[in-house]
A and B are shown apart, each in its own frame.
Chain A
Amino acid sequence: MTSVMVSLRGVDKVFPRRKGASTVALEGIDLEIRAGDFVSLLGPSGCGKSTLLRIVGDLLEPTAGTVTVNGKSPSRARHDRDYGMVFQQATLLEWRRVLGNVALPLEVTGMAEPQRSERAREMLKLVELVEFADHYPWQLSGGMQQRVAIARALTLEPSLLLMDEPFGALDEMTRERMQMELMRIWQETQTTVLFVTHSIPEAVFLSTQVVVMTPRPGRVAGIVDIDLPQPRVFETREETKYFDKLVEVREVLRAEEE
């Protein structure tokens, strides 16, 4: 069963500028994302990958083209709370303790109290931070804060998890640990993930599919299927096939530069 989760057809995004000028951020994007997949949008700064993520998440509107999520319009999907979002910064509300932050989406949807905290606590268990439920965000390290943000994004059991360079602000060691953690969570929750990154190894290690994008204007340069065995583990990074995929993705990027 491979139903389509996200479908983009002929999507353009043009940002108007002053004095009639405009910037084409995305041009002619056609893309399909299967349910249950882990898809990375990979490309250099300015290639429109974050813009594309935000169009899928209904935080921006496309200038042209159609987008469907779960067979619905993105706006419909957002109001049905089909999305969980994780940003580059953890974006925790600093006046709430960890538990309160994770419970925020549940409050917005109006879940009543005993269940709400219970559910939030479950999510904290998933990211292995239950013992920090009563801490304030500033008392946590950057990696822990980002795990809280992931727990928050997952509380509503979204069918689509949108992640915008979520590990971009972390050091390399923490980053690799977070990648393992994310793989475990993805296995457990079975959600579809759309992941923005500019790190080639990160995209290859995490994804089932890497969408390579190039800038000026933002276009899809190629799509690389990453058929490395699941689950991805520490040793995955040492396999020959992993290196082959790194090379393959790099080739696509280089082909576009020439």
Chain B
Amino acid sequence: MNRLLRRYLAPALVFVAVLAVWEFFVRAFGIQGFLLPPPSEVVRTVSAEWPVVWPAGLFTLREALGGLFGGSIAAIAVAFAVSRWSTIRVGVQPLAVAAGSAPIIALAPITNQWFGITNPVSKMAVVAVMVFFPVMINMVRGLTDVGGAKVELMNSLAAPDFATLWKVRLPNSLPYLLSALRVAVALSLIGAVVTEYFGGSRAALGVYISQQAGLTRMAEAWAGIVVATLLGAGLQLLVMGAERVLIPWHPSRRLTPA
């Protein structure tokens, strides 16, 4: 209880302090609401706009999840192939590095043309490409960084390759996969919202945010961001829950993979 308190007290105090300063700042200096609304007004707007913002959030969430699943499953499949045949790795690795430094978001106008600007698939495709490479890289690492001794152990038991894969490589890759998913989850939601800045369905959160901002209705735009943040946090919690269930043996003290 005490440890829990100490762990969350400092960040909670900072949170309250930031909100207080923000509120004070806006009121004291008379900053116009259309520039920076005070937090109290954002909260009011969130509840007022809820019937619009929440479905929009769910719409975008669906796009994010679709892309996340598609991209992750493709990434895992490719990772299996790459870890099995090292010749593929020679070509895929530099591609992955290249993709890591390329602004994948720029693909959005192309997928809009391919699938239709209001079709959620156009956003899912971009999100899938975004999450593909981090998930694949980590999965390959998890499948291959097993340590020679464990492979030797399985060899000494004359275990067939699939047994080594199933009993050693796969469990070994779980922590790597989950830490990649933590990144991918955040990426997928941001990716979906930002992809919608290139145009999208009226029902989508990204379109809502950019429209409200365009009309200088800042409190509404911030309400959209609050919803996006809540959804992102919810997804993070899901992954953390999955970590708790799937890798209870892992000393996960790492903060975030870089």
Contact = CB atoms under 8 A, between A and B. Distances in A.
A91 B153 contact: yes
Contact of B150 (A83, A93, A109): A93
Contacts of B174: 95
Contacts of B153: 85, 87, 91
A138 interface: yes
Contact of B149 (A91, A136, A162): A91
Contacts of A236: none
Given A78-B156, A83-B156, A108 B171 contact: no
B171 A93 contact: yes
A100 to B, nearest CB: 10
Interface in B151-176: 152-159, 163, 167-168, 171-172, 174
A160 B250 CA distance: 34
Nearest to A153: B156
A104 interface: yes
A108 B164 CA distance: 9
Interface residues of B, number: 21
Most buried by B among A79, A83, A84, A93: A93
Identify whether the interface residues of B are mostly helix, strand, loop, or mixed.
Answer: helix
Interface string A77-104: 0110101110101010111100000001
Of the four ranges (under 10, 10 to 19, 20 to 34, 35 or more), the interface on chain A belongs to: 20 to 34
B156 A108 contact: no
A138 B249 contact: yes
Interface string B214-253: 0000000000000000000000000000000001011100
Nearest to B248: A136
A91 B150 contact: yes
B158 A95 contact: no
Contacts of A79: 158
A84 B156 CA distance: 7
Given A89-B149, A91-B149, A136 B157 contact: no
Contacts of B247: 95
Contact of A105 (B147, B157, B249, B251): B157
Interface string A110-131: 0000000000000000000000
Interface string A18-38: 000000000000000000000
A157 B167 CA distance: 22
A57 interface: yes
A59 B155 contact: yes
B249 A108 contact: no
Contacts of A93: 150, 167-168, 171
B154 A59 contact: no
B145 to A, nearest CB: 13
Interface in A39-90: 57, 59, 78-79, 81, 83-85, 87, 89
A108 B168 contact: no
A256 interface: no
A94 B157 CA distance: 18
Contacts of A95: 171-172, 174, 247, 249-250
Given A91-B153, A108-B158, A138-B249, 18 more contacts: A57-B156, A78-B155, A79-B158, A83-B156, A85-B153, A87-B153, A93-B167, A94-B249, A95-B171, A95-B250, A96-B171, A104-B167, A107-B167, A108-B159, A108-B167, A109-B157, A156-B157, A162-B156
Interface of B: 147, 149-150, 152-159, 163, 167-168, 171-172, 174, 247, 249-251
5 contacts: A59-B155, A95-B171, A95-B249, A105-B157, A109-B157
